[in-house]
Amino acid sequence: MENYFDLVPLVVLIPLVGMLTNLFFGKRFGEQGVAIVAVGASAAAFLIAVILWIAQVNTGYVPAVIDMPVLGDWINITSAGLRIPWEFRVDSLSVTMMLVVSGVGTLIHIYAVGYMHGDSRFPRFFVYMNMFLVFMLLLVTGNNFLMMFVGWEGVGLCSYLLIGFWFDKPGGVGWKNSDAARKAFIVNRVGDFGLILGVLLTFWTFRTLDYYKPGEMPAAAHHEEAAYEETLFAPDLPEDEHHETATGPIGVFNQASAWLEEGDHEVNFGVISLSLEATITLITLLFLLGATGKSAQIPLFVWLPDAMAGPTPVSAFIHAATMVTAGVYMMVRSNVLYHSSDLSSFVVAMIGATTAIVAGFIAVGQWDIKRVLAYSTVSQLGFMVAAVGVGAYAAAMFHLVTHACFKALLFLASGSVIHGMEHGHHHLHEHGHGDHGHDDDDFDPQDMRFMGGLKDKMPVTYWTYIFGTLALAGVFPFAGFWSKDEILLDSIKHGVNDGYLSGYLAFVLLLIAAVFTAFYMWRQVSMVFYGQPRHAAAEHASESSNLMTRPLIVLAILSLLIGLINIPSGFPILGWLLGKHEFTSFLGHSVTFAHAGSFNFLLATMAVILALGAIYAARALYNDKTLATLERDPLELDERTAEAFALANAKLYWDEFYFKYIIWPYRNVAYWLAEKLDWEIWHDFAHERLIRDPFNRATQFLAEPVDKGFIDRNFDRLGTLVRRVSDRMRVIQTGYVRTYALSVLFGALLVVILILLPVLRELLGL
C-alpha cells in the first residue's frame, strides 16, 4: 500500500494539467469541453485523495514524504544550511484537507458549470478554479512551511482573480469588483507579512523549515494530556522507536518537542538570544497574524465580506469551504508550537472567540444574502480559531470539515436563489410587465428585501437551505451540532479542568455567538423563503437546473451525516454503532496534541435549546406580517434594538476606521512624497536650484565679467590672432553635448584598441 503514496504529486499535477489545457485550448473546446476537463481534473484529484486515504488507513497511518517528480530542490544554499525541497507530505491531516478540498471542490465545479453557463469568459473561470485547486492542494500537501507559503499566496492570487472576475461589469460595478479583489490581496499580504517573518524566525531557531524529515514520526504527546477522560492517540509506534528515528536529521516540530523537553534552551539570532519558549511564542503570534489574514479574523477580516463580489461558486469554494480555512490548517499543523505557548494560545482563543461574536453580530444587520453568509463564515472561522486556542485541535479540524460541507451548501443554495431571482427579473423584461413591483433600477438580485416566498418557487433550494441552516445552527442531529458541541465542550474543559481563563471566556463568547448564528440564519431563511414575494422578480423566480441542484442535494446529505465521522464516546447507541471519535483518532496520527473530548448531555441540550430558541425568536420577529413589506427590519423599528441594528448594518464602522486612519493617510503621504518631497524639493530644488543653478551662475560669472569683461579686453589683440586660428578650429566645436560625448567614445575606442593590441600580440605570438 505504501506505493500508493507516490501518487500524491498527481493531486497537484492533475489540476495543473487541467488548468493549462483550458488555458491554451479552452476557447476551442466550447463550454462542454472546458467543463469536462475542469470537472474531470477536480474529480481525479478527489479520487487520488481517496486512494491516499485508504492507503493511510491500511498502512497503519504511517506518514510519508514524497519528492516532486522532475523538479530538484527549490532553494538550496549549502553554505547557509538552507535547503527547501519540493516534498509532499501524506499524513492524516493532509489527507483530510485533500479530501475536503477536492471533494467539495468537485461538487462546486459541477455546480459552477450550470451557474456560469453563458458567461463570456466561461473557460477562464475554470482555468482559475483549477488553478485554485493546484495551489490549495499544494498548501495542504507541502512538507515545509515555504511550500505551504507558495500555496498560501497562490490561493490568494486565485482569490484576487476570481473576486475581480467580473471586473468589466458596467455602471461602476466592475470598478467595485476590482477594488474588492485588490483589497482582498492587500489585506492578505498584511497577514503574509507576519507569516513570512514567522517562517524566518522558525528557520533560524530550528535550522530547517521541514515539518518532519522523511522517515521521521511525529512525537507522541506528553502524558499530561491523560487528564482528559479520553486517552490520547499516539502513533502506532512504540515510544523507543520514536527516539530511534530522532537520531537522523530532525524536522521543526520534533526538534521543538525535544528541546522543550530538555528545557532551558537558548536560541541565538545574530546578535541577540532568546529563550526557546519566548521564540516559539513570537513565532506562533506571527503565524497567527498570517492566519487572521487568510482565515478572516479580527483585525484583518474586512476583506472577506467584500470578496462576495466574485461569482457565487467562488464564494462557496474559496471564501467559505477551503481557502479561508488555510489559517486553521496552518495552526493545527503547528499544534506542537501552539501547545507549548500559553500566551499565544490565549491570544488565539480570544481572537477567535471575539471574531465569532463580532461577525455574528454584524451578520444580523445585513440585507445582502451573500453578505450574511460571509459574516457567518467569519464567525464560524472564529469558532475554529478559538478551538485551536483552547487546544482543541481535533475539534477545530472537525468543525472545518463539517463547515466546509454546510457552508458550501448554503452559498451554493444562495447562488441558486440569486440565479432564480435573476431569471425572474429577465422574465419580467421579456414579458414587458416591469411596471409593477419595485422600481426596476433599484433591483438587486442579492438583496433579501426583494425576495420572499421562494419556498414554493424553489423547493429543492429551499429544503437544502434548511438542511444547511440547521447544520450551521448546530441542531441535532445535523453535522454542525457535533462539531460545534465539541468546541464548546473543549473550551469549558480548558477552563475548568486545566484552569485557563481563556477557556471560560471562549466558552461564553462562543455560546453567545452560537445564539447569534441560529438567529441570523433563521432571519435569512424567513426573509428569503417565507411570506409572500416582495418583488415581481421573486414572483417569477424558478428552480435552477439539475446541474446546480444535484450538488446541493449531495451537500445537504453530507451536512446531515458528516458529523457521524466523529461521534463522541459518551453518546448512546450511535457511538457504539459507528465507533467513537473515529476522526479524532485518525487525526491523532499526525496531530500530536489532538485529543478527544467526551460528551456532555447537559451542555449539548443547552446548546440545542438555545439554538432552537433563537430560531423561534427569529421566526416570531420575522413573521408573515412583518415580512409582507420589510422596507425596514423589525429590529430597526423597535427602539430598544434600533441602535444596535444600525451598528451591525454599518459593520461597526470597521472599514471606515481603516480608511480614516490607515488608507487615506498612506495615500496622502504617498502623494506628498511623490510630488513634494521627492520631486519639488529633492529633484527640483536641491538638484536644480542648489547645485545646478549656482554652478551655472559661477560659469556665467567666469564667462561674462571675468573672462569677457577683464581678460578678454586686455587680450583683445591677442584675441584677433587667436580668432584666426580658432576660425579653423570652430568646425569641431559644435556646442552640442552629444558631439563632446562622441569624442569621449572615440577616446574609449582608442582605449579598446590599446586593450586589443596585447591580446592580438599574445594570440599571434609576437
Partner 1 sequence: MATVVFMLPLVGMVLMLILARSDQQYRWWTLTTSIVTFAVSLLLVRGFDKTSAGLQMVDQFDWISGEGFSIQYYVGIDGISIWLVMLTTFIMPLAILSSFKAIQKRVKLYYMFMLLMEWAMLGVFVAQDLFLFYVFWEVTLVPMYFLIGIWGAEQRIYAAVKFFLYTMAGSLLMLLAILWLGNEAGTFAVPEILEQLKTGDLVFSTATGRWLFLAFGIAFAIKVPMWPLHSWLPDAHVQAPTAGSVILAGVLLKMGTYGFVRFNLPLFPAASETFAPYIAALAVIGIIYGAWVSYGQKDMKKLVAYSSISHLGFVMLGIFALNSSGIEGAVLQMVNHGISTGGLFLVVGVLYERRHTKLMAAFGGIWQAMPLYSGVALVIVLSSMGLPGLNGFVGEFTILLGAAGSDAISWWFTPLAALGVILAAVYMLYMFNTVFMGELDKEENKRLPDLDWRELYALVPILIMVLVIGLQAGYFFEFMDAKVGDLVRDISLAVAAGR
Q: Which of residues 193-232 bind partner 1 (CB under 8 A)?
A: 193, 196-197, 200-201, 203-204
* Cβ atoms within 10 Å of 393's Cβ, excluding its own: 28
Q: Which of these segments, 96-104, 528-536, 541-549, 680-688, binds partner 1 (CB under 8 A)?
A: 680-688
Question: For 432-475, where are the alpha helices, taking DSSP H only?
Answer: 454-457, 459-473
- Cα separation, 126 vs 40, whole angstroms: 11
Q: Is 726 exposed, middle or buried (0-12, 13-18, 19+ CB in 10 A)?
A: exposed
Please report whether residue 423 would count as binding partner 1 according to CB under 8 A: no
Contact pick of 118, 270, 735, 765 for partner 1 (by CB under 8 A): 270
Q: Which of 687, 723 has the CB closer to partner 1? A: 687
Residue 75 interacts with partner 1 (CB under 8 A): yes or no: yes
Stretch that binds partner 1, among 264-272, 355-363, 375-383, 457-465 (CB under 8 A): 264-272
455 near partner 1, rule: CB under 8 A: no
Size of the site for partner 1 (CB under 8 A): 78
- What's the closest the beta carbon of residue 31 comes to partner 1, in angstroms? 18
Grouping H, G, I as helix, E, B as strand and the rest as coil, residue 662 is helix
Spatial neighbors of 192 by CB under 8 A, at least 6 apart, are 149, 152, 153, 156, 290, 293
Report how far residue 172's alpha carbon sits from residue 655's, in angstroms, rounded to the nearest whole number: 20
Contact region for partner 1 (CB under 8 A) — 30-38, 362-370, 456-464, 671-679? 671-679
Q: For partner 1, give the closer residue by CB, 174 or 575.
A: 174
- Cα(341)–Cα(345) distance, integer angstroms: 6
> Dihedrals φ, ψ of 214, to 5°?
-55, 135
Q: Which residue in 400, 387, 553 sits closest to 466, CA to CA?
A: 553
Q: Which is nearer to partner 1, 646 or 674 (CB)?
A: 674
667 binds partner 1 (CB under 8 A): yes
Hey, is 263 helix, strand or coil? coil
Residues paired with residue 272 on neighbouring β-strands, in sequence order: 269
Binding of partner 1 at residue 682 (CB under 8 A)? yes
Minimum gap (Å) between residue 733 Cβ and partner 1: 18
Q: What is the x/- site pattern for partner 1, positions 144-173, by CB under 8 A?
A: --x--xx-xxx--x--x---x--xxxx-x-
Q: Which of 21, 130, 178, 335 binds partner 1 (CB under 8 A)?
A: 178
CB contact at 8 A, 119 and 165: no
Residues 52-71 that bind partner 1 (CB under 8 A): 71
Told to check if 661 binds partner 1 by CB under 8 A, we report no
Note whether 78 binds partner 1 by CB under 8 A. yes
Nearer to partner 1, 573 or 741 (CB): 741
Radius of gyration, alpha carbons of the chain: 33
Nearer to partner 1, 439 or 666 (CB): 666
Q: Which is nearer to partner 1, 183 or 419 (CB)?
A: 183
Among 671, 713, 727, 735, binds partner 1 (CB under 8 A): 671
Among 732, 759, 764, 766, the residue binding partner 1 under the rule CB under 8 A is 759
Largest Cα separation within the chain, whole Å, is: 124
- What residues from 735 to 754 belong to the interface with partner 1 (CB under 8 A)? 737-738, 741, 744-745, 748, 751-752, 754
Is the backbone of residue 268 left (phi > 0), alpha (psi -120 to 50) or beta?
beta
Q: Is 338:388 a contact under the CB 8 Å cutoff?
A: yes
Strands 75-77 vs 64-67: parallel, antiparallel or unpaired: unpaired
DSSP string, 126-195: HHHHHHHHHHHHHHHHBSBHHHHHHHHHHHHHHHHHHHTTTTT-TTTHHHHHHHHHHHHHHHHHHHHHHH
Which residue in the set 266, 643, 675, 680 belongs to the binding site for partner 1 (CB under 8 A)? 675
504 lines the binding site for partner 1 (CB under 8 A): no
Nearer to partner 1, 236 or 678 (CB): 678
**Residues 546-561 as b or e (16 or more Cβ within 10 Å = b):** eebbebbebbbebbbe
Q: Which stretch binds partner 1 (CB under 8 A): 80-88, 210-218, 339-347, 651-659?
A: 80-88
β-strands 64-67, 87-90: how paired? antiparallel
Stretch that binds partner 1, among 187-195, 345-353, 372-380, 590-598 (CB under 8 A): 187-195
Q: How far is the CB of 348 from partner 1 (least distance, A)?
A: 21
Q: What distance in Å separates the CA atoms of residue 84 and residue 76, rounded to the nearest whole number?
A: 6
Closer Cβ to partner 1, 200 or 564, answer by number: 200
Name which position in 17, 20, 50, 82 contacts partner 1 (CB under 8 A).
Answer: 82
Segment contacting partner 1 (CB under 8 A): 181-189, 461-469, 561-569, 610-618?
181-189
Cβ neighbours of residue 271 under 8 Å, at least 6 residues apart?
Answer: none
Residues of this chain, 536-565, that bind partner 1 according to CB under 8 A:
none
Q: Does 721 bind partner 1 (CB under 8 A)?
A: no
Contact 417, 461 (CB under 8 A): yes
Listed ranges 191-199, 473-481, 578-586, 700-708: which one lies at the site for partner 1 (CB under 8 A): 191-199
Q: How far apart are CB 214 and partner 1 at their closest, in Å?
A: 17
